[in-house]
């Protein structure tokens, strides 16, 4: 597998994209993205498990139940079309139908939205936007699309890789957005939105498996703020144009699955690194839990602990907060079996603080990417979860992000 530097979703054969401003965002920043494939996509998708879901989620789910093939995915930012009632649902349907019509497609267009909750879309602007974004589709428009789905994101998130299936080169390109209301629990499980496209030929079953295995150890093991969105959507799109021997099972599937998991994990890290206000990406390695699911549960309790998050902002090796948060999340953890490392520096062993190199630990805690390892000595379960620090900038953004 090779990373294709500087490329994103349009690294994939026969996939073009565009991103424009249509006026949903008064700032004039890009707010509408379109992904288009010349040939039909098979699609596997996962959405938020919040019981309040936005209209575009409800409608895309319906489309996926009713149809097997798609050629287009339209995403707007600046307005989530959530908590907007029947009007919102009708707007979602119109977004989709207007796009298919503009593109001259027989198939329906998948949709996603992100932004403010509780306001209806300015549909006149949306219709004009769809005209414009469709006219702007380009084979190298991936970065524009990735930019157009940003809300409070500070940087665009895209990645592409290529791998060989038998002797055929297959590409996977992807884009995603964060940066708040990020605690994805995608069902199959943020408003994170991600689109991962591939030109691989792959069976529907294998595509679904790649999606569910991919999200399990990436998006679903990450959180910026513990708030699960009404709009989280991940689409895995495969248009078969690489003409590889069809991926169905065995080693080929494993290769593809590893690549998808790698891409989703990298997108997850980008989202967390760009979490609202975040100055640090922390990878929490939990080892020795009863099983992997419990390891993930412990990891997520550290990711979401305000005391742990502010500790990392303060660059303070206050490991007691880590053990306390772990104990609050999982029954049966025994203090005498717990150990805490910052990167390679052991700071607490068998539940007791030990002498450590203050300078080395201080340097680790001041770096932008930090690895924490917590051993709980109960079994063989392991998980890595991804979180960020909590700081003044987070408070500023969210006290000022307003209706």
Give catalytic status of residue 10 as yes or no.
Answer: no
Q: Using DSSP, state whether 84 is helix, strand or coil.
A: coil
Q: Which is nearer to a second copy, 146 or 370 (CB)?
A: 370
Q: Using DSSP, state whether 385 is helix, strand or coil.
A: strand
Residue 8: name the closest of 170, 119, 161, 183 by CA: 161
Structure tokens at 374: 């917590």
Q: Kindly write out the interface string for residues 370-399 of this chain, putting x where it contacts a second copy by CB under 8 A and - elsewhere.
A: --------------------xxx-xxx-xx
Min dist CB 398 to a second copy, Å, is 4
Q: What angle do CA 186, 230, 102 make, to 5 degrees?
A: 95
Among 306, 360, 369, 380, binds a second copy (CB under 8 A): 306
Structure tokens at 97: 């139908």
Among 226, 257, 343, 363, binds a second copy (CB under 8 A): 226
- Say how many residues touch a second copy, by CB under 8 A: 68
Q: Which helix (H) or strand (E) holds 235?
A: strand 233-238
> What does the DSSP 8-state code read for residue 106?
S
Contact 284, 374 (CB under 8 A): yes
331 lies in the binding site for a second copy (CB under 8 A): yes
330 lies in the binding site for a second copy (CB under 8 A): yes
Residues 6+ apart with CB under 8 A from 14: 37, 38, 39, 199, 239, 241
Q: Which is nearer to a second copy, 103 or 116 (CB)?
A: 116
Q: What angle do CA 110, 63, 14 make, to 5 degrees?
A: 40
Q: Which is nearer to a second copy, 139 or 353 (CB)?
A: 353
Q: Which is nearer to a second copy, 79 or 208 (CB)?
A: 79
By CB under 8 A, which span of 5-13, 79-87, 100-108, 153-161 interacts with a second copy? Answer: 79-87
Buried/exposed code over 359-394 (b: 16+ C-beta within 10 A; e: otherwise)? eebeebbeeeebbbbbbbebeebbbbbbbbbbbeeb
> In the chain, what is the straight-line distance between the N-terminal and C-terminal CA atoms, in Å?
45
Token pair 């997850």 is at which residue?
268
Q: Give the Å distances, CA to CA, from 361 to 94, 128, 316, 352.
A: 55, 55, 9, 17
Min dist CB 388 to a second copy, Å, is 12
187 lies in the binding site for a second copy (CB under 8 A): no
Q: Which is nearer to a second copy, 71 or 220 (CB)?
A: 220
Q: Kindly write out the interface string for residues 114-133 of this chain, putting x where it contacts a second copy by CB under 8 A and - elsewhere.
A: --xxxx--------------
189 lies in the binding site for a second copy (CB under 8 A): no
402 lies in the binding site for a second copy (CB under 8 A): yes
Buried/exposed code over 308-327 (b: 16+ C-beta within 10 A; e: otherwise)? bbebbbebebebebbbebbb
Min dist CB 149 to a second copy, Å, is 19
Q: What angle do CA 3, 177, 127 make, to 5 degrees?
A: 115
355 lies in the binding site for a second copy (CB under 8 A): no
Active-site entry in 84, 191, 265, 338: 191
Q: Kindly write out the interface string for residues 228-247 of this chain, putting x where it contacts a second copy by CB under 8 A and - elsewhere.
A: xxx-----------------
Binding site for a second copy (CB under 8 A): 50-53, 80, 82-85, 116-119, 180-181, 183, 185, 225-230, 304-307, 310-311, 313-314, 316-321, 323-328, 330-336, 338, 348, 350-353, 390-392, 394-396, 398-403
- The residues assigned a catalytic role are 191
């Amino acid at each position: 597998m090779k990373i294709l530097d500087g490329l994103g979703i349009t690294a994939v054969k026969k996939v073009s994209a565009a991103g424009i401003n249509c006026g949903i965002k008064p700032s004039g920043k890009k707010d509408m993205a379109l992904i288009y494939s010349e040939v039909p996509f098979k699609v596997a998708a996962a959405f938020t498990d919040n019981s309040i879901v936005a209209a575009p989620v409800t409608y895309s789910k319906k489309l996926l139940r009713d149809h097997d093939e798609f050629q287009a995915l339209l995403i707007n930012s600046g307005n989530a079309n959530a908590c907007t009632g029947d009007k919102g649902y009708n707007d979602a349907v119109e977004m989709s139908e207007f796009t298919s019509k503009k593109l001259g497609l027989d198939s329906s267009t998948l949709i996603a939205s992100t932004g403010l909750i509780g306001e209806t879309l300015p549909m006149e602007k949306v219709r004009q936007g769809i005209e414009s974004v469709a006219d702007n589709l380009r084979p190298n428009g991936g970065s524009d699309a990735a930019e157009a789905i940003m809300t409070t994101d500070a940087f665009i998130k895209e990645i592409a890789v290529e791998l060989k299936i038998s002797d055929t080169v297959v590409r996977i390109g992807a884009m995603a957005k964060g940066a708040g209301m990020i605690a994805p629990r995608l069902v199959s499980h943020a408003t994170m939105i991600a689109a991962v496209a591939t030109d691989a030929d792959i069976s529907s079953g294998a595509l679904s498996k790649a999606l569910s295995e991919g999200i399990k150890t990436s998006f679903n093991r990450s959180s910026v703020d513990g708030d699960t969105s009404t709009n989280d959507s991940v689409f895995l799109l495969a248009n078969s144009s690489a003409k590889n021997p069809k991926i169905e099972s065995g080693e080929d599937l494993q290769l593809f699955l590893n690549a998808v998991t790698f891409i989703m994990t990298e997108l997850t890290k980008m989202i967390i690194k760009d979490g609202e206000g975040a100055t640090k990406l922390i990878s929490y390695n939990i080892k020795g839990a009863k099983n992997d699911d419990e390891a993930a549960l412990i990891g997520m309790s550290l990711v979401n602990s305000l005391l742990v998050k502010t500790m990392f902002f303060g660059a303070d090796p206050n490991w007691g907060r880590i053990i306390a948060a772990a104990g609050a999340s999982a029954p049966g953890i025994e203090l005498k079996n717990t150990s805490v490392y910052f990167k390679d520096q052991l700071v607490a062993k068998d539940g007791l603080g030990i002498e450590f190199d203050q300078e080395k630990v201080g340097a680790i805690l001041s770096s932008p990417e930090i690895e924490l390892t917590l051993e709980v000595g109960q079994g063989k379960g392991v998980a890595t979860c991804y979180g960020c620090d909590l700081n003044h900038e987070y408070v500023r953004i969210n006290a000022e992000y307003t209706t």
